[in-house]
Amino acid sequence: MMKAVVFPGDKKVEIREVPIPSPGGGEVLIKMKASAICRSDMSLYYGSDAVVGGEAAKSGCIHPGHEPAGEIVQVGEGVTRFKEGDRVAVYLAVGCGECANCKSGYRMFCPEWKCIGFDQHGGDADYMVVPAENCMRIPDRMSYLVAAVSTDAVGTLYHAQKRLAISGRDTLVIFGMGPMGGAGVMVAKGLGATVIAVDMLDERLEVAKELGADYVINGKEDVLARVMEITGGRGADAARRTPPIP
């Protein structure tokens, strides 16, 4: 048996004793080491309409945690890319594996997609089972905590900026210096961009500067005017809104 978290709704949290799951074909069993809490999890906690997911997400029985990391302790039949003892983080989207979106790597657009932590059990438990293809091997020097947070906060911002083709030629404005906004600053600087960070809170703007932002603007100012001033009237090449998490 193992312990697992559930959100039955109405701001309630329960710890339940449930059987340790067994991996099926193409799946792995992971002993959890870290599982990040995301703002979207709060929809399950409050019992309102889940941010993503179908009927299972409304049941109050799903183990949340869509940003997990841990150690593989058992592999199912047909799994060859991973072995027991591998340290992994887990990607949240489970697709059919056959459609064009799945084969191109965009499982979140699969018509049959399921979200770990909403449609099926996530990482807020002692163990979880996921498809091996959802696992991402992490280096020994990376902590499980960093790996868990990076799956969503860093991965989302990295993908968005790669789609925007951000490079050293660009000036990027990022609105909202919560965890994802801060990750966006680091990613943009890694890609060589000039970064303008915008937030309503000065303390978060200070953090943005520590993370590498070239300019910071308090949202109480005339943001557009400041951006035009900073860029010599040219304006930004791209902008990204990342709502801060309280």
**Of 233, 230, 236, 220, which is closest to residue 174 (Cα–Cα)?**
236
DSSP-derived secondary structure for the chain: -EEEEEEEETTEEEEEEEPPP---TTEEEEEEEEE---TTHHHHHHTS--SS--GGGGTT-S---SSEEEEEEEE-TT--S--TT-EEEE-SEE--SSSHHHHTT-GGG-TT-EEBTTTB--SSBSEEEEEGGGEEE--TTS-HHHHHHIIIIIHHHHHHHHHTT--TT-EEEEE--SHHHHHHHHHHHHTT-EEEEEES-HHHHHHHHHHT-SEEEETTS-HHHHHHHHTTTS--SEEEE-PPP-
Mean pLDDT within 40-63: 83
**pLDDT tens readout for residues 69-122:** 999 999 999 999 999 999 999 999 999 989 999 999 889 899 999 999 999 999
Mean pLDDT within 9-37: 95
Residue that the structure tokens 């590498």 belong to: 212
Domains in the chain: boundaries = 2-154, 164-241
In this structure, are residues 46 and 9 in contact, taking their beta carbons and an 8 Å threshold? yes
**pLDDT tens readout for residues 169-228:** 999 999 999 888 999 999 999 999 999 999 999 999 999 999 999 999 999 999 999 999
CATH no., domain 2-154: 3.90.180.10
Q: Evaluate if residue 29 carries a pLDDT over 90.
A: yes
In this structure, are residues 184 and 208 in contact, taking their beta carbons and an 8 Å threshold? no
CATH no., domain 164-241: 3.40.50.720
Q: What is the pLDDT of residue 166?
A: 95
